Chains A and B, each alone.
Chain A
């Protein structure tokens, strides 16, 4: 397996992610359109679906905000290019920025300077998991700014319990209103610590729409919150309607006796992600999209 092949595969992943929405998300939007009663909301959903199809057909980024580049990497300790992955990802991001193209979205917070290639200190950001084996699993997760700006953290007192979690989530959705480009996907992480619950929350954003948590209690909470959120009336783009979120995904970790941290992460309707498994010999299998 050559580094240049892996780089090309990651550029493919980035292109797939920003131009072709996974079917679970576009199907979720279509189902929402069927159920929607508000006329303005229907118009907004139709515009979104037209836009998704145009992007797919012409291989153009569906949204001009192609995000900050984040990767989730689960890699076997015997994968041949293990130590070269960060450099390969960075090169792929630079190349993808030119070729796809992606909007240059990295800004130095002190100098206001944009290097115009989507890289820079700590970006692309890589979430690592090292496991036994020889395969590499990569998810490209370009994350837009509008939905990121309404993410929140709550350090609840444990006495508030799951009721406190529910209230925090509903209040956060209402506070976010039109800003994150609804219909959204909501990711919630409970427990762990301040950083851990945020990380869990964000990882929930790329669980397929419609997939329930294996734990029945958590699954029930997901359904209950989804129903409540869609009764707010915020609607697509905050212009009113029955479709505020496509799904709510929750996960949890053990908590400290003194803490009940809750992470609240938000994904816009353009819920972009693309995943592949790459073997040590360089065989590629895309797992999020059908690719000929």
Chain B
């Protein structure tokens, strides 16, 4: 278990050295994208339309934050991760299209994403689910927002962060998947668990 500090734009070399269970803090620019933003970003990619931000080497945060406008400035209130598996249907294409190096979320992702991470050089960093105040503390400011027509949770929020973390590396660029390992362990315990319940 090694702790790393990364700054954006993150290079392929930076993420290739990370291993499952390592701890990462990110400084620089990250942006949020949930189901609808993933779908739109991929639609725009197919039709050769540039995204509102150059995503190369950035981290994507699976998050629908609470944000409020104070005078003319956006202020972040709370910003914990959302369940990443909903994005499994988009993420491999997303990583390949935009050369994203870090996906931040909760609950882990599946084999399709792990394969894309191995191919492109990217990792999945798990942030504690629901720990929205901890996450917001690491956000210095909101740089910009795009696609607000999707609603506050689904919009693309671009944030400047300082030591955003701790993120547990849960999928590394070898394709090793911590959540899959835990799941395999749970499967091995299943009969014992039934027995404890008198089955």
Binding site for B on A (CB under 8 A): 40, 43-44, 47-48, 50-51, 54-55, 58, 60-66, 101-105, 107, 112-114, 116, 144-146, 149, 163, 166-167, 170, 174, 177-179, 181, 224-225, 227-229, 231-235, 237-240, 268-270
Task: State which of A40, A47, A178 has its C-beta within 8 Å of the C-beta of B21.
Answer: A40
- Report the nearest A residue to B194, measured CB to CB: A170
Contact between B133 and A166, CB atoms less than 8 A apart: no
Neighbouring A residues of B112 by C-beta, 8 Å: none
Q: Which of B82, B128, B150, B178 neighbours the largest number of chain A CB atoms within 10 Å of its CB?
A: B128
Least CB separation from A60: chain B residue: B133
For B79, what are the chain A residues with a Cβ–Cβ distance below 8 Å?
64
Are A55's CB and B198's CB within 8 A?
no
Which segment of B11-19, B50-58, B60-68 sits at the interface? B60-68
Q: Which residues of A contact B153 (CB under 8 A)?
A: 103-105, 114
Determine the chain B residues whose CB is within 8 A of the CB of A60 once the complex forms: 77-78, 133, 136
Kindly list 15 other residue pairs between chains A and B, CB separation below 8 angstroms, not including A114-B152, A239-B178: A43-B168, A48-B128, A51-B132, A63-B78, A64-B132, A65-B64, A66-B66, A101-B66, A101-B77, A113-B151, A174-B190, A181-B106, A181-B130, A225-B197, A237-B128
Q: Are B168 and A40 in contact (CB under 8 A)?
A: yes
Is A234 a contact of B130 with CB atoms below 8 Å? no
A28 → chain B, closest Cβ, in Å? 15
Q: Given A61-B78, A149-B83 in contact, is the A170-B197 Cβ separation under 8 Å?
A: yes
* Size range of the chain B interface in the assembly: 35 or more
B197 touching A239 by the CB < 8 A rule?
no
Question: Contacts A48-B131, A55-B133 hold; do A166 and B199 have CB atoms under 8 A apart?
Answer: yes
Binary interface encoding of chain B residues 172-185 relative to chain A, with 1 for a CB under 8 A from any of its CBs, else 0: 00000011001101
Contact of B111 with A by CB under 8 A: no
Contact with A along B96-131 (1 / 0, CB 8 A): 000000000011100000000000000000101111
Interface of B is mostly: mixed
Bound form: Cα–Cα A14–B198 in Å: 41
Q: From the candidates A107, A114, A224, A240, name the one contacting B196 in the complex (CB within 8 A).
A: A224
Nearest-neighbor residue (CB-CB) of A104 within chain B: B152
Which residues of chain A are near B192, meaning CB under 8 Å? 231
Q: Which of B80, B108, B199 meets A163, CB within 8 Å?
A: B199
The 4 A-B pairs of least Cβ separation, nearest first, read A114-B151, A181-B129, A228-B197, A63-B130
Q: In the complex the two chains form, is A233's CB within 8 Å of B132's CB? A: no
> In the complex, are the beta carbons of B189 and A65 less than 8 A apart?
no
Q: Is B24 an interface residue (CB 8 A)?
A: no
Complex Cα gap A61–B131 (Å): 10
> A239 with B64: in contact, given A55-B133, A166-B197 (CB under 8 Å)?
no
| A234: contacting residue among B77, B134, B186, CB under 8 A | B186
User: Smallest Cβ distance from A40 to chain B, in angstroms?
Assistant: 7
Q: Is the CB of A101 within 8 A of B68?
A: yes
B130 touches A238 (CB 8 A): no
Shortest Cβ distance from residue A112 to the other chain B in the assembled complex, whole angstroms: 7
Interface hub of A43, A51, A225 (most chain B Cβ within 10 A): A51
Task: State how many angstroms separate the Cβ of A114 from the closest Cβ of chain B.
Answer: 4
A-B contact pairs, 13 of them (CB 8 A): A43-B166, A44-B128, A60-B77, A61-B66, A64-B66, A170-B193, A177-B179, A181-B129, A228-B196, A229-B193, A233-B189, A238-B182, A270-B130
